[in-house]
Structure 1
């Protein structure tokens, strides 16, 4: 693939991810205005966000097979169309909380379609030696969406009102659908198998589900960090403006780390899951220290490190699982995406309840424990993947276990004795 096409695919997947994921961040950034106009409180705001992520998780689980069969062209049409419909509903029809929840459900389905289509493009269309970087850039779109959501308030919202921001994403969604409708059809989600192979070579279900559960346990505290760090920083002494700057700088550090870890992953042969587990454990330490040291300097230092280390693993784990997904990288990465949506749906709401009942310090400890559980699940999944490679080697030699110039381990031929 020419470099121009590689860059276009990476940027396209990243833009599609921003489009799908930005709606709840727009909702959060404009919450004060929307609550006043639509007549609902903070609790219902959390429910609306949870509906978005919950519907996205369910849609990902149920729809990945359909998207794999229909291909990226149809994926773009469906993704852009759902975002356009959801955005227009919020901008023109929504006059109360129930209508907002319905619109967020549509936007959640749009997010699932955007993420599945973008994952398929990175996992199958990019050259093998660029997929780590591709997933890093794609997943960097999530903290970028957080920044865009915040920047919308002093710009578009002030000038044109909060409904205008959803008109913009509806227009962009319509443009994406038109691009999909006019581009040549391509099928995605499979890799070329040797002649004579009768069945697709699938990733082992057990380790894959363990990874999905691990991502759910990690996404819950990570989304809690993004949702509540500014509030905690203000409580320990930062001004509202300083807390906002902390959140923006933290998001930017996460973007840079996601890209850097993806680039480094392309330079080694596997050993990505231990790196993910190490990053998540680092995040666990940072969250525990946020609760243990309620001081301004600690919130700044450990808050930034929590973003830079503890929330920089999404692209790397997607790359690792897509690489281990054999003939079905799209389905494998969709399990991870569903786990991320599930964590996004449950994390801020459940940990926010802990804050209201027991305080921030306890909530940070609970979030840290969730990170630890995630790291343990990832290492258990790694053992399962390695055992599967040894007992069920792929048709083509597969390098794993790390190594720069050459892999530390290579699978044996399928017909070789064990």
Structure 2
């Protein structure tokens, strides 16, 4: 009886929060090296290019594992896969810090990327299958807000390391403990499978939606190229623009939580104003504002101006993912596993390319060139989502007798 009550406690609120918690724990290892780089460099060399390679490797493995996870999630309870992934990260990521070498940190990122990819379809499908449709926008907003949420926690770790006499490996050990807590939380959730959610025979309409899915994945890829560089390099970028390390870490942390709020608010609005077309148009508009924020980061100097650029980039430029995921699953209701895998693959490939490219541009040119180039990526993504919204609108008009 007590077990039944414990599961019941998860209820509506727990089902909204659990996918976000899982995502925070699995994303954080990709952000820790960059945010703690100033402290890690006291022990061994960690270049900007190496940080970019670590994050890119993380997302490369996430991309491959996401595709492999779809048939596994159909066969096994997604929560079982999630627990296995969290346990693997809880052991391997802290171990990589304790070994204390560049190679070990890279290996930790690669392992974490694999566990993140294997758990991603399960996290999305927990929302699609367990959360009532009237709350799915909020649920996706919470899940995708886990990325800036993880950034905020990593920034907090960086602030503690920068302002107190705390060794940077302690942040990795704290991460391992958090993963164990996350595993405990999953036991409060009811088992869920992906069986019988796919309809492969969709005919002409399915082909049309498939074309739209490719455009959405391309838009997500371009936006992810730009957005994925923000967290790993923001602290170093702010310092290059004139902010001191403590102020840069604090600004990063505050702005990350602003990004969390923006994504959740976007999800709430999406539930109140339903419609895939409106969601895609809104996401395109947010990307335009994000590009403006990146230009300010590139050309602004001094903490006040950089603060404006950071808030714009995080609060508006980071609010689009939940809208995009919600719209995609709305349009592809009978192919949810395929749709979420395709869209997530696009964003992971973008996240793979983005940090490595950004690091190379900074190393060979400057932060100004890097922020400007990636602002252009956000504008291109906005154009792709606008095109997808037109296709969805036209498909809806043809469906009306």
The alpha-carbon distance between structure 1 residues 79 and 355, as it changes in their structure 2 partners (threshold 3 A), is same
Report the counterpart of residue 150 of structure 1 in structure 2. Answer: 155
Match of 1:278 among 268, 273, 285: 285
Q: Which moved more, 1:315-324 or 1:349-358?
A: 349-358
Which of 84, 89, 94 is equivalent to 1:83? Answer: 89
Separation in structure 2 between the aligned mates of residue 189 and residue 21 of structure 1, nearest angstrom: 27
Aligned residues: 390
Which residue, 277, 288, 309 being the options, matches 1:302? 309
Q: Work out the CA distance in 2 between the residues paired with 1:169 and 1:231.
A: 22
Q: Does 1:136 align with 2:141?
A: yes
SS in 1 for 2:242: coil
Contact kept, 8 Å, 2:217 with 2:343, in 1: the verdict is yes
SS of 1:266's partner is helix
Contact 2:325 2:340 in 1 (8 A): yes
TM-superposed CA distance for 1:190, in Å, is 5.3
Find the partner of 2:212 among 207, 211, 231.
207
CA 1:306–1:208: 2 relative to 1, 3 Å: same
Cα displacement (A) at 1:155: 4.7
**Residue in structure 2 matched with residue 400 of structure 1 by the alignment:** none
Whole-Å Cα distance in 1 between the matches of residues 302 and 37 of structure 2?
A: 28
Higher deviation after alignment, 249-258 or 261-270? 249-258
Q: Does 1:288 align with 2:295?
A: yes
In structure 1, the residue matched to 2:4 is: none
Matching of residue 23 in structure 1 with residue 16 in structure 2: no
Contact 1:76–1:176, Cα closer than 8 Å, also in 2 = no
- Counterpart in 2 of 1:383? 390
What do the CA deviations read for 1:178-197 (whole angstroms, capped 9, x no partner)?
6657965421375598xxx9
2:1 counterpart of 1:6 = no
The corresponding residue for 1:344 is 351
Name the counterpart of 2:376: 369
Q: Which runs of 5+ in 2 are unaligned?
A: 1-7
* Corresponding residue to 1:227 among 228, 232, 254: 232
Higher relative contact order, structure no. (Cα contacts within 8 Å, ≥ 6 residues apart):
2
Does 2:58 correspond to 1:52?
Answer: yes
Q: Which residue does 1:331 correspond to in 2?
A: 338
Deviations 1:114-134 (A, max 9, x none): 332221111221000000011
Q: Does the 8 Å CA contact 2:286/2:319 hold for their aligned counterparts?
A: yes
Instruction: State the structure with more CA Rg.
Output: 1
Please give the alpha-carbon distance, in whole angstroms, between the structure 2 residues aligned to 1:300 and 1:356. Answer: 23
Tell whether the 8 Å contact from 1:17 to 1:142 is kept in structure 2 after alignment.
yes
Q: CA RMSD in A?
A: 3.1
Q: Deviations over 1:205-264 (max 9, x none)?
A: 221122122112112222323333443433343333332332222212211111111001
Contact residue 159 and residue 249 of structure 2 kept, 8 A = no
Matches of 1:172 and 1:103, distance apart in 2? 16
Q: Counterpart in 2 of 1:403?
A: none
* TM-score (structure 2 length as normaliser): 0.85
On the 8 A contact 2:96/2:107 being kept in 1, the answer is: no
Q: What TM-score, normalized to structure 1?
A: 0.82
Supply the distance in 1 between the matched residues of 2:68 and 2:24 (Cα, whole angstroms).
Answer: 22
Q: 1:319-377: CA deviations, max 9, x gaps?
A: 11122221222332232222222222221221232223332332222111111110111
Residues 183 and 234 of structure 1, relative CA distance in 2, 3 Å threshold = closer
CA contact 1:76–1:179 (8 Å) conserved in 2: no
Contact 1:123/1:330, CA 8 A, preserved across alignment: no
**What corresponds to 2:323 in structure 1?**
316
Deviations 1:381-405 (A, max 9, x none): 22333444455xxxxxxxxxxxxxx
The structure where helix makes up a greater share of residues is 2
